[in-house]
Amino acid sequence: MANKSKRDNTTGGVKLQEVEKWQPPEEGSFKVNVDAAIQEGSESFSIGMVIRDHTGTFIEGKVMSFPSPESVFAAEAIGMREALSWIADKGLHKVTFESDSLLTVKALQNREDNQLEVGHILSSCLDWLTGNPSFVVSFVKRHVNKVAHELERCPCLVNCYNLFTSPPDLLLETLMFDHSF
């Protein structure tokens, strides 16, 4: 399905857009989908992150787990901070980070001194974005972010991470579906 844009804003490395299906980045670029989830009754939350290239090929995935945050907003903001840090440390450039947390993406777009409960986390995100001008943060619907959402469900101990250099079995069907762009 074609890209449908209600709002497209690329000012300051943050982009709000509405797409119906995962779209690959431009050639020579990467796309990182990131999602966080708090499991009801759990003492922790997980973050799933997936790097893909312009052909839609799975490059790497990462699952992290942390003690429960103050809110879902905090979990999503921590997820974005961890994804930005991970990719900056890898030395990748021309990267679009996609999140289904509209609140997080809008907070980064506003770039104001944020006094919310997650102000310090958003500040870290903005530092990564400022230091890496080829990074763009974009909002996508949850079904477009399905690979990251599914990856976050992989078991991971609290305060650690699992790195995947090939896609785990639970992602294969979604990756194949996404690859039919």
Structure tokens at 94: 């021309």
**Model confidence band, residue 5 (pLDDT cutoffs 50, 70, 90):** very low
Percent of the chain with pLDDT over 70: 86
Overall average pLDDT of the 28-49 stretch = 91
Mean pLDDT of the 100-129 span:
86
- Give 58-71 pLDDT, tens digit per residue: 999 999 999 988 88
Q: What's the confidence (pLDDT) of residue 1?
A: 35
Average pLDDT over residues 92-107: 94
pLDDT at 7: 38
pLDDT-derived band of residue 2, with 50, 70 and 90 as boundaries?
very low
6: confidence class by pLDDT, cuts 50, 70, 90: very low
pTM: 0.86
**What domains can be seen in the chain, in order of their start residue?**
14-19+28-171 (3.30.420.10)
